[in-house]
Structure 1
Amino acid sequence: MKWQPVSDQRFKLAEGPFWDDVQQSLYWVDIAGFRALRLHQGQVRHWQFNEPVSAFIPTVHGDALVTLASGVYRLDLDSPADHPAFSLLCVADPISGNRANEARCDRQGRLWLGSMQNNLDAEGGDLPLERRSGGIYRVDADARVTPLLNGQGIVNTLLWADDDHALLSADSLDGVIYRYPIQADGALGERTLWAQQHERGVPDGSAMDAQGYVWNARWGGHCLIRFAPDGRVDRIVEVPLSHPTSCVFGGPDMTTLFVTSARPASDALELDGCVISVETGIRGQVSHRFSG
């Protein structure tokens, strides 16, 4: 595979890639750099915040959601980089000292948000994790918040399987990916182990292809693992990154895989901190805008 950076920029903690099929644009964030970014027609724009931002998802109305440490906000995409105009949509996780980590929209355009104890200081530096206070929340189009899960360590990966009857989600502290049945009332049922620990890194964010295979970025593993629909390891995809963080399918044919990464403070590889892409020849599932 011939991996290419989408720009020459390096980021502290690039995460949360989203491909907007409508505008043919790539959205992502630099969590520790407090920035939301968009690549459109070869040009990168950014919006600077004063707190961690973990996801950047366009809405059906033409603005976008940003999940900041203090809540979920609507961002005016026409506002300037250093003075972004944004307004509070909701506070999904009410626990003081937590922040959003993973966020994706389901087929209905509802935002699912996974949280964790905030592990970043005011400058984006690392803080120790001292509690399992994270959870999973669903935000409907009308901003109504439904708590779904609590007591989580680091929520990563939010994907829907089995015709949307199950949620796949990793807890990176456990090093595994779980499967949760979605009950008729929308609640999550008892979890089962879907993908067990692997020597090639810790599970971070993921994308799903059209065949239902999960491409999981492996923090510290220099690779992605492609899991079969039943959770078996299908293949290991090497990447020129020490800490890939997440991935998404996009491009005109939905066959380009974009991978975000972190840049460690020492012993960084050349492309660490970049967003890179490769043509896979495998069609991926589309990303869904927020419906509110």
Structure 2
Amino acid sequence: MTEIQTPLPDLRCQLGEGPFWDQHSQTLYWVDIIGKAAFAWKPAQNDLQKWTFNSLISAIVPREAGGFLVALHRELAFFDPASGNLTPFVAPDADHSENRSNEARVDPMGRFWHGTMQNNIGPNGEAVAITQHSGTLNRVDANGKMTRFCENIGISNTLLWSPDGTRMYFGDTLANRMDVYDFDMASGMASNPRLFCSVEGRGGMDGSAIDQDGFIWNARYGGSCIIRFNPDGEIDRIIDVPVTNPTSCVFGGPDMTTLYITSAADDTDGTKPLEGALLAIETGVAGAPCHAFAG
């Protein structure tokens, strides 16, 4: 189960993030935030596409109406891959000009959840110190209506929903905690946050995937591993990976049992040859599906 594959051996990302699996088209999407690029890869054909942008980009998700919704530095926009055109949509965090997009996921009803953080990337990709907890968490409905749920976030990471739709998970890396919320799927309301998990000594909490049994697979930035938590927030297993900074993961493949893991070459000493690569693990466990944006 823990044999690590490198399906795109020549590809490296400075800050790979935001993996999304489209089960209908059997396509994996992800981004390179620092590299200002988005990727689409069909494993069956080994067909890789790359799009570049003039802005940091932290997420790309398909739209039910066609094309994509992308989370750029300070705004969300619609992206038409055929023409390359970007159409501004909404800016959920416009009242915090110091922030950038970071975490994003679509809930099972097609609403886009957008987490931000103080921008820590300079104009040439250089690191900028984080000096404040200015991040926010916002929900964007299909019609563009925005609802804010959290403020004072250090680094927004992990957005997930339990298979039965009654729980939402969201974390703050700087606070070293992932919280679980009661979730009302019909209204899209999250409430009653409480600690789900907090781990010392295995890197920082980054992005996650959830399987159909409700176990959470969390990438540990700086920790060279994936930690699988059971539904009670207890460590179920630790899977070592050959990169320093795994950043996020998603289930994909025909049976939804392949865990695809993004990683970052940035903030490493360069001694591990796979830093920034896309990794894959056959888990034998089916993951929960990703969802397109309903707008």
Distance 1:231 1:91 in 2: 33
C-alpha displacement of 1:164: 2.3
Give structure 2 stretches of 5+ with no counterpart. Answer: none
Give structure 1 stretches of 5+ with no counterpart. Answer: none
Q: Match of 1:172? A: 173
C-alpha displacement of 1:6: 2.4
2:249 is the alignment partner of 1:277: no
C-alpha displacement of 1:13: 0.3
C-alpha displacement of 1:187: 3.9
**Maintained 8 Å contact 2:74/2:97:** no
Distance 1:89 1:177 in 2: 29
**Maintained 8 Å contact 2:216/2:231:** yes
When normalised by structure 1's length, the TM-score is 0.95
2:104 is the alignment partner of 1:103: yes
Q: Deviations over 1:96-140 (max 9, x none)?
A: 111110100010010011111111111222111011110110011
- Give the AA of the match of 1:154: I
Distance 1:187 1:104 in 2: 15
Q: Report the CA distance shift for 1:138/1:4 in structure 2 as closer, same or farther (over 3 A).
A: same
C-alpha displacement of 1:162: 7.1
Distance 2:144 2:206 in 1: 27
Q: Report the CA distance shift for 1:23/1:164 in structure 2 as closer, same or farther (over 3 A).
A: same
2:56 is the alignment partner of 1:52: yes
Question: How many pairs align?
Answer: 288
**Maintained 8 Å contact 1:13/1:33:** yes
Taking the TM superposition and a 5 Å limit, the aligned residue runs for 1:229-240 are 229-240=231-242
Distance 1:59 1:268 in 2: 39
Taking the TM superposition and a 5 Å limit, the aligned residue runs for 1:161-200 are 161=162, 163-182=164-183, 186-200=188-202
2:223 pairs, out of 221, 224, 232, with 221
Distance 1:144 1:33 in 2: 30
Distance 1:6 1:64 in 2: 24
Q: Deviations over 1:29-83 (max 9, x none)?
A: 000111111112312211111221000101112201110012001110213xxxx
C-alpha displacement of 1:170: 1.2
**Maintained 8 Å contact 1:34/1:124:** no
Distance 1:133 1:164 in 2: 29
**Maintained 8 Å contact 1:51/1:122:** no
- Give the AA of the match of 1:86: L
**Maintained 8 Å contact 1:149/1:188:** no
Q: Deviations over 1:223-257 (max 9, x none)?
A: 00000001000000111111100000000110111
- Give the AA of the match of 2:154: G
Moved more, 166-175 or 178-187: 178-187
The CA RMSD over aligned residues, in Å, is: 1.4
- Give the AA of the match of 1:64: F
Moved more, 52-61 or 180-189: 180-189
Residue identity (%): 43
**Maintained 8 Å contact 2:59/2:71:** yes
Q: Report the CA distance shift for 1:132/1:265 in structure 2 as closer, same or farther (over 3 A).
A: same
C-alpha displacement of 1:86: 0.8
SS in structure 2 at match of 1:119: coil
C-alpha displacement of 1:185: 5.5
SS in structure 1 at match of 2:191: coil
When normalised by structure 2's length, the TM-score is 0.94
Distance 2:153 2:189 in 1: 16
- Give the AA of the match of 2:270: D
C-alpha displacement of 1:201: 1.2
**Maintained 8 Å contact 2:163/2:212:** no
Q: Match of 2:90? A: 90
C-alpha displacement of 1:182: 3.0
Distance 1:104 1:189 in 2: 18
SS in structure 1 at match of 2:190: coil
Distance 1:36 1:138 in 2: 22
Q: Report the CA distance shift for 1:58/1:185 in structure 2 as closer, same or farther (over 3 A).
A: closer
Distance 1:186 1:280 in 2: 31
